[in-house]
Amino acid sequence: MQLRFTYYLKLLGLGCDIRPGNNHPKKKKMRPRLFKTLPILLFLVTFLAFEAVAQTPDSTAVEDQQEATTTTLIFVRHAEKMDDGTDNPSLNGQGKDRADRLAQLLHQQYKIDAIYSTGYNRTLETATPTAEVFGLDVQEYGLDDPKGLIASIVKEYKGRTVLIVGHSNTTPYLVNIASGRDDFKQLDEKTYGKLFVVESRELYKGKVTESNY
């Protein structure tokens, strides 16, 4: 931009003669026509100033781009289950109410792009109300490769929001993997309604927000 400004000055006859080997530019004498060219000079200065501002990165655009690449992973344990003596119980009445509250909360605060659940009745039934609200299918996952699971979800849904329903032991474990931390321990069997939100811009690193619903 400085070279362009010098070029404009030369066009106006206000520049300096610079020749190779000449360390002391020869200044041209100012002529009365300076007063005629002054408005043009002011215009050029204003034009170049606006051009410099236009080339400055827009901070809002940078922030929008960063937000667009932030992947949000929402982890919850299944809601309250029936005590029916089986290995695969369904939700009880309290658990069904909690699953509905989860769907309402997520609908108010997020746009869920995908839902993952283990293949048990209690986790699938916890995820179902949210899936119905957002018009999504529930994708079942296993835990043979937990790190690979997180990596595949982040890769598939980068910049979007995913709900992952698990268990008292697996949910904190996956939160630790997704966030790159080791702060979250197995939940007590009587603890329900914990919501872990991991906001991540880099695989296996992220900010964790913990709340109750």
pLDDT average per 10 residues of sequence, the chain (213 residues): 52 48 50 58 62 54 59 98 97 98 98 98 98 98 98 98 98 98 96 98 97 97
CA distance 115 to 211: 19
pLDDT of residue 67: 53
Domain boundaries, the chain: 2-56, 66-212
Q: How far, in Å, are 10, 16, 17 from residue 28 at the CA level?
A: 10, 6, 8
Specify which residues 81 forms β-bridges with: 91
Architecture of domain 66-212: 3-Layer(aba) Sandwich (3.40)
All residues at 6 or more sequence positions from 119 whose CB lies less than 8 Å from its CB, including other chains = 140, 142
pLDDT of residue 1: 55
CA distance 15 to 27: 8
> What global pTM score does this model have?
0.71
